Amino acid sequence: MRKSFLSLATPGVQQLRPYLPGKPVEELERELGISGSIKLASNENPLGPSTKALEAIQKHSGSINYYPDGGGYKLTARLAQKHNLPTQCITLGNGSNDILELTRAFLTPEHSAVFSEYSFAVYPIVVQAVGAKANIATAYLETHSTMPLGHDPQALLSCIDDSTRVMFIANPNNPTGTWLELDVLKQLLDKVPDHVIVVLDLAYNEYMDEALRPEINTWIDGYPNLIVTCTFSKIYALAGLRIGYSISTPEIADLLNRVRQPFNTNLLAQEAALASLDDKIHLTQSVSLNNAGKKYLQQALAELGLESLPSMGNFIAINLKQEGLPVYEKLLKKGVIVRPVANYNMPEYIRVTIGTAEQNQRFVKTLAEVL
């Protein structure tokens, strides 16, 4: 009999459980032989991409026989201008997920990384893949008055030890939607020792109330140990193209670039991202659609007698007070794909992405039926 290769994998990889993505519509329809399904499972933008991005893709599609610009000169320059920082502060990633993985530049089996319970599933994967230790901070309790299951700054700080090199903070956090106020976040950063790189994951930043969004350039000046990660997958609606970036000091960007693949962002993604940055109307419409959808869903869920966590993202975590997985499966059968979050240790919750008005209504109606 052939020997299993599991024993050949590194200890971290042997224990690793892969990331579970949202179920694609095509897969569900193939499996159940149904049509007309909706996917509210991966926090994508239901408005679709900017027409400017689509035009840019069309315009540049004849050039895909060439490698992309490895440094992403034009996009990097545009992002530097947007954030009012030198180009050397920007690192492009194949989605912001790619940047999260570049933090392996700081982690070995002798090191640890700190992140909160119920925070983004990629953090433990990144840490474990390199055999580093995860120091997981206890989150606020479900009974917390304002931020149930949210990041607790004190708990995060108390998980730092001499071996810690990286701390991940998602603001707002996925899958909870909870957030830290700017002054609280600042007080936290003030207390993080110099030997810890703080990765502030702002994947949903544009969905937050304006008063909650940091002025990134002054933060980079004030906190040289900070890496801010941003994405074009959410509000810019380019999830399928895989493009994101980080903002840090040039010194940290240089270290990230040492472990970055030479052509990690593709040519069409670079061009589409560049064009998207010029479409302010698409951005405003996306924010408005999300705000209206959030209000509708929060009210409709309350009317169904369901509690949901406060959210500053384009998704809501709903407390079903019963096992979430069977409810998820019943919704699937009716062509509504949401996200079960038992893998986040939240077995009684499901997470729903805020969709178009029509999708939100269908979700509420279907949820009421299956409950």
Ligand X SMILES: Cc1ncc(COP(=O)(O)O)c(C=O)c1O
Kindly list the residues in this chain that would bind ligand X in the complex (CB under 6 A).
43, 95-97, 120, 170, 174, 201, 203, 231, 233, 239, 244
Least distance from C-beta 352 to ligand X, angstroms?
14
Coil, strand or helix at 342 = helix
Nearest one of 199, 197, 250, 316 to 91, comparing CA atoms: 250
**Which residue type occupies 359?**
Q
Sheet holding 90-93, edge to edge: 90-93, 244-247, 226-231, 197-201, 164-170, 112-116, 133-137
Smaller CB distance to ligand X: residue 120 or 140?
A: 120
Least distance from C-beta 197 to ligand X, angstroms?
16
Smaller CB distance to ligand X: residue 47 or 239?
A: 239
Residue 132 CA to residue 154 CA, distance in Å, equals: 22
- Residue with nearest beta carbon to ligand X: 95
Least distance from C-beta 125 to ligand X, angstroms?
12
Smaller CB distance to ligand X: residue 244 or 340?
A: 244
Q: Which two tokens stand for residue 72?
A: 């992403």
Summary count for the chain: helices (H), strands (E): 14, 13
The widest CA-to-CA distance across the chain, in whole angstroms, is 62
Nearest one of 3, 39, 111 to 339, comparing CA atoms: 39
Least distance from C-beta 6 to ligand X, angstroms?
28
Least distance from C-beta 121 to ligand X, angstroms?
9
Give the CA distances from residue 61 to residues 20, 64, 239, in Å, rounded to whole numbers and listed in that order: 31, 6, 18
Least distance from C-beta 369 to ligand X, angstroms?
28
Smaller CB distance to ligand X: residue 111 or 151?
A: 151
Nearest one of 168, 163, 110 to 137, comparing CA atoms: 168
Q: Which two tokens stand for residue 219?
A: 């933060």
Coil, strand or helix at 118 = coil
Least distance from C-beta 239 to ligand X, angstroms?
5
Whether the bond between 175 and the residue before it is cis, its omega within 30 degrees of 0, is: yes
Least distance from C-beta 42 to ligand X, angstroms?
7
Residues 201, 244 contacting (CB under 8 angstroms): no
Smaller CB distance to ligand X: residue 140 or 236?
A: 236
Smaller CB distance to ligand X: residue 137 or 366?
A: 137
Smaller CB distance to ligand X: residue 96 or 270?
A: 96
Smaller CB distance to ligand X: residue 16 or 300?
A: 16
